[in-house]
Amino acid sequence: MSDGMGERVSDAIVPGWEVVIGLEVHAELATATKLFSTARNEFGGDPNTNVDPVSLGLPGSLPVLNEKAVELAIRVGLALDCEIGRSVFARKNYFYPDMPKDFQISQYELPINGRGHLELPDGRTVGIERAHLEEDTGKSTHVGGGGRIHEAGHSLVDYNRAGVPLIEIVGAPDLRGPEDARAYVAELRAILVAIGASDGKMEEGSMRVDCNVSVRREGAAEFGTRCEIKNINSLRSLGRAIEYEARRQVDLIEAGEAVQQQTRHWNEDEGRTHTLRSKEEAYDYRYFPEPDLVPVDPSDEWIDEIRATLPALPRERRHRLAEAAGVDTAAAALTVERGMDDLAVDAIAAGADAARVLVHVDNNLADGAGRLTADAFAALVAMEVGGDLTATQAKTVLADLVASGGDPAAHAATHGFEAMDTGELESLVDRLIADHPDDWAGFVGGDDKERKKKSGFFVGQVMKATQGQADGRIVNELLERRAAGG
Ligand code: ADP
Ligand code: MG
């Protein structure tokens, strides 16, 4: 999420136009059993092995609410700073072959979680309108004709997913481009995983995104008419779908036509959206309160108990590291995303230079910290900053510490890394300047590009002469000093 957050990318799509995006994210809750029955909630089983009378919608079966699902929904509400309150289940009536009851039990007027918000890595907040509980549907497979229902010879249905608990998180239309949308989904996923509410796996369908997109001329006060895009399965598709859809809407308006409110389908292979249904064809779900379930009214004590078990959230961890390191939250995001922030904060607390710590964590600890401790990390950085180790040597010692732990000074000694005597280095630099007068003239009198090139040349010569023992930073300082007449 460090890639360009904070920029308003909407400009890049169509100049003069602003894209407005609001996302509806469905996440499967990580319960052992389904929302209203004891059938297992498990991905990847043989078809129709995790079923029971309730998830098959058999006549006479009755739903019994899964307390764990309610707890996980409350965890989501707490993590998103939502107003949590009394909620009522409702029947949402529509026909679909993978939904045997012909209605879905959802929440409508009274969701378990009301308004809240989410903070992006760059510190901007996005409103949450609601986050309610509902059951998932089963899954149809259309056989033949490329998997589309209208070309299929026959269809198969698997009810393993029917009745799996979902949380639907409805975001406010606060996002302004593909980068915003991707950052929002990535943050939401990180939160859901951190609090143990969901595994957040988009590729297994346990996190699914419906994307509402509209466009308006820059500076316009009113939102434009939106289209809702379904079937987005990855962060990459999300960005592509938004770009395509925004261009399509701008083209329509610029051609003098109006955007029709529609539900559209994203076709990943074709790279375009197409109409599923228009507003006129929208379902009338005829919601009414589910008569087989009582309202859910969690007590303040229970909510407090759940709150006490929440881990530090990505947002809090970014703020903690940002404060310790003296950087902004966006600069702390990658370290937190990779789960290295505790190490970084502890190393900084042990006295390490914060900038060097972040550089090492983000660039030189790609495979994790291994046996590196915060104290050894701090000692290593101190040696590097104090000039006892060059950046290259520090990297080598860091790899040793990751592999086998121990003390950085001992590893440095094993490699024969010794700080070069500054006096020695100075006379070497002076000798090189005398031996290469043309290069030196280029360094002293050249433009920025030339100067950079020549500094590279001299540092290279020094490294060659010292077998890499010298510190490039100090060589550069010496060159600058000599060029200034010092
Ligand atoms: P519905 O109940 O028909 O789904 P909502 O008002 O609840 O409509 O909005 C659903 C989603 O659409 C929300 O995520 C919201 O942020 C988004 N949305 C609403 N208006 C717009 C708009 N003009 N442009 C983009 N997204 C929008
Ligand atoms: Mg909706």
Domains and CATH numbers, the chain: 17-308 (no CATH), 314-415 (no CATH), 422-483 (1.10.10)
Nearest ligand to the C-alpha atom of residue 184? 1
Nearest CA to ligand 1 atom 3: 228
Q: Which atom of ligand 1 is nearest to the CA of 170?
A: 14
Collect the ranges in the chain with pLDDT lower than 50: 1-11
Check if the beta carbon of residue 232 is closer than 8 Å to that of residue 238.
Answer: yes
Gap from CA of 174 to ligand 1 centroid (Å) = 10
Tokens representing residue 191 in the block = 């939160």
Gap from CA of 54 to ligand 1 centroid (Å) = 32
Gap from CA of 379 to ligand 1 centroid (Å) = 53
Gap from CA of 446 to ligand 2 centroid (Å) = 62
Q: Which atom of ligand 1 is nearest to the CA of 172?
A: 16
Q: Which atom of ligand 1 is nearest to the CA of 214?
A: 24
- Please tell me the distance from the alpha carbon of residue 413 to that of residue 214, in angstroms, as a whole number: 62
Residues contacting ligand 1 via CB (< 6 Å):
20-24, 170-173, 212-214, 223-224, 226
- What does the angle CA 303 – CA 308 – CA 312 come to, to the nearest 5 degrees? 120
HSE-CB for 341 with a 13 A CA cutoff: 24
Composition of the chain by helix, strand, coil, percent to 5: 40, 20, 40
Check if the beta carbon of residue 113 is closer than 8 Å to that of residue 70.
Answer: no
Q: Which atom of ligand 1 is nearest to the CA of 228?
A: 12
- What does the angle CA 33 – CA 205 – CA 199 come to, to the nearest 5 degrees? 60
Beta bridge partners of 228: 212, 263
- Residue 286 has a CB neighbour count (10 Å cut-off) of 11
Gap from CA of 263 to ligand 2 centroid (Å) = 10
pTM: 0.85
Ligand 1 mutation pick, 25, 130, 170, max ligand atoms within 8 A of CB: 170
Q: Which atom of ligand 1 is nearest to the CA of 174?
A: 16
Nearest CA to ligand 1 atom 13: 22
- 479 φ, ψ (degrees, to nearest 5): -60, -45
Residue-level pLDDT at 419: 66
Check if the beta carbon of residue 381 is closer than 8 Å to that of residue 344.
Answer: no
Tokens representing residue 196 in the block = 């143990």
Residues 6+ apart with CB under 8 A from 221: none
Gap from CA of 281 to ligand 2 centroid (Å) = 15
Beta bridge partners of 170: 24, 130
Residue indicated by tokens 């590279």 = 456
Q: Which atom of ligand 1 is nearest to the CA of 24?
A: 14
Q: How far is CA 297 from the centre of its chain?
A: 32
388-to-392, 416, 419, 469, 471 alpha-carbon distances in Å: 12, 12, 5, 10, 9
Gap from CA of 25 to ligand 2 centroid (Å) = 10
Residue-level pLDDT at 390: 87
Residue-level pLDDT at 6: 40
Nearest ligand to the C-alpha atom of residue 18? 1
Gap from CA of 33 to ligand 1 centroid (Å) = 31
Ligand 1 mutation pick, 17, 226, 264, 283, max ligand atoms within 8 A of CB: 226
Residue-level pLDDT at 3: 37
Residue-level pLDDT at 12: 60
- 3-state SS, residue 486: coil
- 287 φ, ψ (degrees, to nearest 5): -60, 140
- Please tell me the distance from the alpha carbon of residue 35 to that of residue 135, in angstroms, as a whole number: 6
Pairing assessment for the beta strands 262-267 and 227-232 based on DSSP bridges: parallel
Tokens representing residue 51 in the block = 């079923």
- Please tell me the distance from the alpha carbon of residue 197 to that of residue 203, in angstroms, as a whole number: 17
Cβ burial, residue 117 (10 Å; 0-12/13-18/19+): middle
Gap from CA of 211 to ligand 2 centroid (Å) = 9
Length of the chain in residues, anyone? 486
